[in-house]
Structure formats: C-alpha cells, structure tokens
Amino acid sequence: MEEAKVVLLGSRFSMFGMRAKIALAEKGIKYEYMEEDLTNKSPLLQEMNPIYKKIPVLIHHGRPICESLIIVEYIDMVWHNNSPLLPLDPYHKAQAKFWADFVDQKVYHASKRVWISKGDEQEVAKKNFLESLKHLEEFLGDKPYFGGETFGFVDVALIPFYCWFYTYETFGNFKVEAVCPKLISWAKRCMQKQSVFETLADEKEVYEAVLDYKTKFILN
C-alpha cells in the first residue's frame, strides 16, 4: 500500500461507513474504497482495527484511524481548509460532539432493536427511537442544519440513518414524519447535497439486505 494514499475500509449499508464517505466527499478528498465482507473480514481490516475489527477504518499515510466519529473529526482536522464540519468555538464544538455521541448511544441502539426484536421489546425500542429523534428535532429547532446555516458534524453523524428509516418504519409499522416532521425536512435538505445523495444507500436495498440478514442469522 502506498504510504500517502487515503484508503477507506467500509461496508455498503453501514451508516458508520457512510459518515466517513460523506466527510471525505465534503472535503473533496480522493481515496481508495475497499468493501469489506463482514462475514469474512479481510486480513487488512483485522490488522488495521485489531481491537474491534469493525468498519469503517480510514488509512492515511499507512496509519489506521478507527471509529466513525473519530474518523470524521480527523478528516475535518487534516483537511481544514474547506467545508469545516466542527465549529471552532469550544462550546459549540462540545455541543456538536455531545449530540453526535447521542446519535450513537440512543438513536443507533434503539433503531437496531426496532428491526431485530419483536413484541414488547420492539414496542420499547420504537418508543426510545422516536423519543431520541424528538430530542434531536428539538435541538435542531428552526435551523437548516444542526450547527446552524451550514452542513456539519451532527448532520454527518445522523443523516446516514435516513436511508434506514424505511426499514425501521416497515418493521415497526410507524412513520417518523408523523412524529418528527421537521427532522424529515432537514433530511430532505441534506439529501440535496451531492456528498449525501451520492453516499446514502437506496432505502429499499437496505430493507432487502436486512431481510436477507434476518433470514440467514436470526431465527424467528
């Protein structure tokens, strides 16, 4: 591997991988993308992320950076001349990191339970998922993006989940728009950005992939 090259190890439907792709696209960075088969991880992934063995991994100058939010922050710091993602102001930066972490701690965990579980557990997951989105919607308020006038860190953290909404809604039998209309307007606004619409997977393909995964790996 050439030392200076930027390489991204990802997986097609991963919202975490999409975060890295969007950040690289926002900065206009050329990179080599390597798709991982997560059922048969490559020696490179195991070498580059020996602790978690998860994607995404960004490899820059031959050195690995792991964890999607850390990758987005790294990209923002290294290529700081254009399209800033994190605010410079320490308070606003702390706030952006808080909400991006909230997406991981609350939105992600509840969203997964929505399609993986059934019955009472699924009901609790739906409630938690929609509540977490409601909190985000309140933080968004009337701003076009989470950080204000321009697309930034929290937008990158959350928008990949949008292409999974169809899956959560179909398994959970609800509509996000009925509860969080402003959040859906925000998502549609983000989808007008090239970095986002060229990165996000097709929602029906996500759904098909989840059905396939459930058939193969989860006994019903």
Per CB under 6 A, residues contacting ligand GSH are 11, 14, 16, 38, 53-56, 67-69
> Closest separation between CB of residue 21 and ligand GSH, Å?
12
* Rounded least distance, CB 133 to ligand GSH, Å: 19
The total of other beta-carbon atoms located within 10 Å of residue 7's CB is: 18
Closer residue to ligand GSH, CB minimum distance, 27 or 54: 54
Q: How far is the CB of 77 from ligand GSH (least distance, A)?
A: 17
59 forms beta bridges with 7, 64
User: Which is closer to ligand GSH, CB of 68 or CB of 132?
Assistant: 68
From CA 86, how far away is CA 90, in angstroms rounded?
Answer: 10
Measure the CA–CA gap between 198 and 159, rounded to whole angstroms: 12
Q: Closest distance between ligand GSH and the C-beta of residue 11, in Å?
A: 5
- How many angstroms separate the CA atoms of 63 and 99, rounded? 28
Q: How far is the CB of 132 from ligand GSH (least distance, A)?
A: 16
Q: Which residue's CB comes closest to ligand GSH?
A: 54
In whole angstroms, how close is the CB of 68 to ligand GSH at the nearest point? 3
Closest CB to ligand GSH among residues 38, 178: 38
Which of 58, 47, 72, 41 is closest to 7 using CA atoms?
58
- For tokens 């490559």, the residue is 42
Nearer to ligand GSH, 23 or 55 (CB): 55
DSSP 196-220: HHTTSPPHHHHHHHHHHHHHHH---
- Closest to ligand GSH by CB, 70 or 77: 70
Angle between helices 181-191 and 119-140 (to 10 degrees): 70
CB contact at 8 A, 111 and 166? no
Name the burial class of residue 86, with classes exposed (0-12), middle (13-18) and buried (19+) by CB atoms within 10 angstroms of its CB: buried
In whole angstroms, the minimum distance from the beta carbon of 89 to ligand GSH comes to 25
**Cβ proximity to ligand GSH, 114 vs 184, nearer residue:** 114
Tracing tokens 């965990």 back to the chain, one arrives at 109
Residue with Cβ nearer ligand GSH (99 or 184): 99
